[in-house]
Amino acid sequence: MSLETKNIRNIVLLGHSGCGKTTMIEAMLFEAKGISRIGSIEGKSTTSDFTNIEKDKGNSIFSTLVHAKWKDSKINIIDTPGLDDFVGEVVSSMKIADTAGIVLNSTSGVEVGTELVWENIEKYGTPAFFVINQMDHDKSDYDKTLEQAIDRFGKNVLPLQFPYNQGTGFDSIVDALRMVMYVFPEGGGKPEKKEIPADVLERAQEMHNAIVEAAAEEDEALMEKFFEDGSLSEEDLTQGLKIALINQDIYPLFITSSKNNMGTGRVMGFINDIVPSPADRAPAKLEDGGTLECKTDGPNALFIFKTMSEPQVGLVSYFKVYSGIIKSGVDLENKENRTIERLNQIFVTNGKTREQVDEIVAGDIGVTVKLKNSHTNNTLAEKGVDFKIEKISFPEPRIREAIIPPGKAEMEKLMKALHQIEEEDPTLKLEQNATLKQTIVHGQGQLHLDIIKYRIEKMNGISMDFTKPKVPYRETITKMSEGSYRHKKQSGGAGQFAEVHMRIEPYIEGMSDPAGLTVRNKEMEELDWGGNLSYLWCIVGGSIDKNYSNAIKKGIVQRMEEGPLTGSNVQDIRVSVFDGKMHPVDSSDMAFMIATSYLFKDLFVKSAPKLLEPIYEVSILCPEESMGDIMSDLQTRRAIIQGMDSEGHYQKIIAKVPLAELYKYSSILRSLSQGRAKFSRVFSDYAPVPHELQQGLIAEYKAQQEED
């Protein structure tokens, strides 16, 4: 019998690095009889974290899809990296999950990684539950972790369980939903159900009452039944809690020791009974503002949320079916580029193990291989329908490194390999900057780029080294200048002649026409590198034919590509061409371009030029005890503090910082906070470089020019 959408559960496991997600998945698969033995990270034998690089590093780097059967349900579980450098794997997984399981470390409580994933839970409106893991640790602190969770995520955090004996002897969980105590044998596994001991019965009853009230509040009929009977049946509780979970009115909280397989079976039961199916969630948002219901009798449509390149296989595409039933061999149209893709084979997957299937129904997650023209964020659907599922919004890069160019042949191979990784990883940006004369990679953190380097060297056999990237400065002027230049050349045959008179001044939006000149024509050029050129043709009479106007403008733009101060791009200039001379035979476009180029450079250096630097708005989330060190460090980086606030039990600092001062900042911040702080950055604006720094940069550029 075909799988039904109502019996599918899509769970993404989230949490800070070290909370035990990968080990928890092992225990969940074992409980569901999906694997015969529980693997370990130390033994490099887990179903998740199966790539060589993850085994080498001992950390999750990629998201991993596994699945398990539980009663009538198929439960898809996605393991995600806890390190913020790999946030792209997290946001892509959250896009297609219907519920989030947030794993907390019972010794560390709510960590900064958890704070960041919560932003996406709120963004996608994802139902969520919490699991406090590692209850067997000798420093386990359930009450403190629960208190932090309620403090940060609100009173909707609803504990369903608490430990009877946390710490090294942990083996008993009091379950207030079912009002029973689970006592586990040594080594974990199937627990024995016992009555709740008298010394914690009152606490359990209070928790149970809170659970019943939360369930009853979701439905009038349940509320009436609750008032009449003073309680609810297990079936009524399930119904009420499911509605409350979908509406994000509750975030149930469980406890486990996944290493010893204690409590994971109960979590699986909860996922089966109460967690929503794809059919229970709101329809998917489309790019045109519409929605798409998740049902098998709708149009065939899937969304690719992840792509990876595998040796001997090629491109592997992970997708979620949002509507219809996708059968192997089906032809679908990529709605992004209008190409047709045939899905010759479709699979379900457990880590690296793939099982070929005939069909995948709406709401389920699958894998296909060797698509030719389709990548992450593409919608594939049957012909005749015209919609795109709303794309994943990936975070902007936070750090940059320049590549030390190897030999020409090696560079071509390197660029091909980097472009392949860029297709797989939308949080990586590759930039070949002609002005800076550097190839620059932009990533989420130093570890992110180090892993890219590792992959290039291990998988492609190409050496790749980084160096400090140059800063994309800008040049502009602060006052007006005007003058003329005559270009005259005679060397047998046709000569060259052009004379141009012009005025240059700083461009400000909305400025009035130049005094003393009659403007015949206005052009606004939005420059490729940002900023503007306002170009005014102010010639009265025919001193220069209007046909030469484009050549003159081209000469200006070419000169603006490499400014006189540091060779940086020039921006925000108004140029008024008001006079000149031409020759009926010797004048040409080239002659006017040359004359204009020389004149622009001459006037630019007379117009009190200044160097501008890119400024970024940096948001830092950190524990209070690290705040002083981080603030002191920011002051050494010419930062301007914009504001400070608290977010849960973390502090948030917002500052404007020059890009030149942010090199290696992710590593420095990690060191200052012992890995407990995170940051993001967005471009803000360009601001003048301090005079002493400007003089140093100009001298450095001049010395480089002389050397070249």
17 confidence band (pLDDT: 50, 70, 90): confident
Region 674-693 average pLDDT: 92
Region 67-95 average pLDDT: 93
Residues 62, 263 contacting (CB under 8 angstroms)? no
- Residue showing tokens 């149970």: 208
Coil, helix or strand at residue 552:
helix
pLDDT in tens, 557-611: 999 999 999 999 999 999 999 999 999 889 999 999 999 999 999 999 999 999 9
Domains of the chain, earliest start first: 7-280 (3.40.50.300), 284-381 (2.40.30.10), 399-470 (3.30.70.870), 475-607 (3.30.230.10), 612-693 (3.30.70.240)
Task: Give Dmax over CA atoms of the chain in angstroms.
Answer: 112
**Token code pair at residue 213:** 């009230």
Name beta bridge partners: 350.
353
Per-residue b or e along 157-196, where b marks 16 or more CB atoms closer than 10 Å to that residue's CB = bbbbbbbbebeeebbbbbbbbbebbbebeeebeebeeeeb
**Mean pLDDT lowest for which of 453-462, 470-479, 530-539?**
453-462
| Residue 149 identity (one-letter amino acid) | A
Cβ neighbour number for residue 122 with a 10 Å cutoff: 11
Q: Which pairing describes strands 157-159 and 251-255: parallel, antiparallel, or unpaired? A: parallel
Please check the confidence at residue 1 and state whether its pLDDT lies above 60: no
pLDDT in tens, 356-385: 999 999 999 999 999 999 999 999 999 999
Compute φ and ψ for 16, nearest 5 degrees. Answer: -65, 150
Q: Which pairing describes strands 291-292 and 284-285: parallel, antiparallel, or unpaired? A: antiparallel
pLDDT in tens, 503-543: 999 999 999 999 999 999 999 999 999 899 999 999 988 89
Residue 474 to residue 703: CA distance in whole angstroms: 19
pTM of the model: 0.87
| Closest of 370, 357, 354 to residue 326, by C-alpha | 357
What is the chain's mean pLDDT, rounded? Answer: 92
Cβ neighbour number for residue 224 with a 10 Å cutoff: 11
Q: Which pairing describes strands 161-163 and 157-159: parallel, antiparallel, or unpaired? A: unpaired
pLDDT in tens, 435-445: 898 999 999 99
The three-point CA angle 425-427-431 to 5° equals 95
The three-point CA angle 129-134-137 to 5° equals 150
160 confidence band (pLDDT: 50, 70, 90): very high
- Residue showing tokens 């191979």: 413
Where does 379-506 have alpha helices with state H?
408-424, 446-460
Please check the confidence at residue 312 and state whether its pLDDT lies above 80: no
40 confidence band (pLDDT: 50, 70, 90): confident
**Mean pLDDT lowest for which of 110-119, 211-220, 344-353?**
110-119
492 confidence band (pLDDT: 50, 70, 90): low
Cβ neighbour number for residue 231 with a 10 Å cutoff: 13
Region 8-25 average pLDDT: 92
Residue 110 to residue 658: CA distance in whole angstroms: 32
Residue 212 to residue 232: CA distance in whole angstroms: 7
